[in-house]
Amino acid sequence: MNLIIDVGNTCVKLAVFSNDVLISKSSVKVSCLLKELVSLRDKYPAIRQSILSSVGKISSQDLAYLKNTYNLVELSAHSVLPFLNKYQTPKTLGVDRIALVCAAVKHSSNQNILVIDAGTCITYDFVNKNNEYLGGAISPGLATRYKSLNNLTANLPLLDLQFPKNITGASTKQAIHSGVVYGVLNEIDGIIATYRSNYSDLTVILTGGDSNFLSKQLKSTIFANSNFLLEGLNYILQFNKNQ
């Protein structure tokens, strides 16, 4: 069994895999990580391997526990990966994006794949049919756009995500919902269309916290998979075990 740990901007996601099968998934605050690790160790004593992907920070105590308990792989730009990284600044490539590309390679090897991760940021990552990662794009996510309108202006309120009733907002709140949601939807559809103009056989995969909300509204044909990053991390762990 494998333990997958993804430390994000707001929480820590944990998953237990048996080979390729997802057995368990949980999400906790960083401050509760050690307690969750101990609980998972008691519940799944067969876990031997673990991988840590972190765009946030965990305590030295948590890290020491992982190193002392499991055969731990810490994902970084120096990790052995199942694709050729052609990013011009590989050391600045986020480990979350690395994991998504690995999942793409496993899911659709030797195909042109665009992975869209809709979370705090919306990231676009492209890997071609030669399993070469070429890069992508980064833009603000839905929640980030709502927050920026509130933080950077004097009179606009902070709103929770809501699908607009009409593209023409008849009030300030309606206008914000329209601008944020339709702005993101048209951005994603536009980027997919641009890629498809260059790669007619493109496979598009949507993941991330906002993927369920967005997948129902997008015009483009996509595969939605909320566990894609976790699957990518599990694949990296298996890939490194066989090296």
Give dist(CA 208, CA 189) in Å, integer: 16
Give the largest Cα separation in the chain, rounded. Answer: 59
Cα distances from 201 to residues 32, 70, 204, in angstroms, run 44, 41, 10
Instruction: Please count the other Cβ atoms lying within 10 Å of the Cβ belonging to residue 218.
Output: 19
Which residues lie closer than 8 Å to 224 by C-beta, 6 or more apart? 205, 206, 207, 211, 212, 215
Provide DSSP, 144-159. Answer: HHHHHHHHSSSSPPP-
Distance CA 32, CA 12 (A): 9
| Main-chain dihedrals φ then ψ at residue 106, nearest 5 degrees | -70, -40
- Residues in the chain, how many? 243
The catalytically annotated residue of 6, 42, 62, 96 is 96
Cα–Cα distance measured from residue 2 to residue 43, given in angstroms and rounded to the nearest whole number: 13
Residue type for position 101: V
Sign of CA dihedral 99, 100, 102, 106: positive
For residue 96, indicate whether it is catalytic: yes
Catalytic residue numbers read: 96
